[in-house]
Amino acid sequence: DAAVLLLSHVDYRTGVLRDMAAVTELAHAHGALVVWDLCHSVGALPVELSRAGADFAVGCTYKYLNAGPGAPAFTYAARRHHAHARQPLSGWHGHARPFDFTEEYEPAAGVSRFLSGSQPLIAAAALEASLELWRRVDLGQVRAKSLALTDLFLELTAEAGLECATPVEHARRGSQVSLRHPDGYPMVQALIARGVVGDFRAPDILRFGFAPLYLRYVDVYDAATALVEVVASGEWRDPRFARRAQVT
Ligand SMILES: Cc1ncc(COP(=O)(O)O)c(C=O)c1O
């Protein structure tokens, strides 16, 4: 009886890449619309929303798109939904005639109806600079580099003996590697102290993201070596790494 299915294209915990076309087709066959969360795929791999028949999508631009902290989010709506979809956070920039200041709310035609209030222009300027770079980037090359980086990390960290939560198959992997260990939190903290910034997701995931545009193979080598050393030496057992911070 579900009306809407909301799914992450790349799962933020495990790094599993879902088959957007197949899942969308299945949802449609059961009468549900699909909203895709692209936060962990946009800028990391090619995303083909219209080819997959997706209905809606949302995403952030501060991760793989590199638009910086506080960069604006985005939304996508398939053309077939533009005329009737209502945006619950309606604001004057989504109005058909914002400067008429009418009593009634009349949504703009097309995707503009999804806008709400005034845009954060300083953050949008940083996003524009990032997108200017992306216009010159071949996403096929980005994906190839991402897979090569994550392959290398998987190969080098195997020695640490941690269980891997991320699929080994390329077709099912995003641009991250998630490893499992009950003491993942202090292990990540010990790595951060060495300058390797991963993060921890409860209950037991050590998560490493790979931004293909600027990350080098030597960075991956250094990070993997640090992880193997942290685990083997037990340096993560230092009590200062067990202190829980709000950001994990
Ligand atoms: C799955 C997922 N969706 C959305 C977001 C972004 O949320 P917001 O733009 O509110 O920071 C994130 C950020 O970590 C995420 O991992």
- Decide: helix, strand or coil at residue 205: strand
Q: What is the CA radius of gyration of the chain?
A: 21
**How high is the pLDDT of residue 22?**
98
**How high is the pLDDT of residue 90?**
87
Cα–Cα distance measured from residue 117 to residue 77, given in angstroms and rounded to the nearest whole number: 18
Q: Ligand 1 pocket test: which of 39, 200, 201 has the largest number of ligand atoms within 8 Å of its C-beta?
A: 39
> Would the CB of 12 count as within 6 Å of ligand 1?
yes
> Would the CB of 109 count as within 6 Å of ligand 1?
no
Nearest CA to ligand 1 atom 7: 60
Dihedral, 217, 221, 224, 229 alpha carbons, nearest 10: -170
> Would the CB of 38 count as within 6 Å of ligand 1?
no
Q: Ligand 1 pocket test: which of 37, 41, 176 has the largest number of ligand atoms within 8 Å of its C-beta?
A: 37
Mean pLDDT, range 71-89, rounded to an integer: 93
- Decide: helix, strand or coil at residue 35: strand
Residue 104: count of CB within 10 angstroms of its CB: 5
Over pLDDT 90: what percentage of the chain? 94
Domains (range + CATH), the chain: 4-134 (3.40.640.10), 139-241 (3.90.1150.10)
Cα–Cα distance measured from residue 230 to residue 85, given in angstroms and rounded to the nearest whole number: 51
Q: Comparing 5-19, 81-95, 193-207, 224-238, which segment has the lowest mean pLDDT?
A: 81-95
**How high is the pLDDT of residue 125?**
96
Nearest CA to ligand 1 atom 5: 39
Mean pLDDT, range 223-243, rounded to an integer: 97
CA of 215 to the centre of ligand 1 (A): 22
Nearest CA to ligand 1 atom 2: 39
Indicate if the pLDDT at residue 128 is higher than 90: yes
Indicate if the pLDDT at residue 212 is higher than 90: yes
Tell me which H or E stretch contains 217. helix 217-233
Q: Which amino acid is at 179?
A: L
- What is the average pLDDT score of the chain? 96
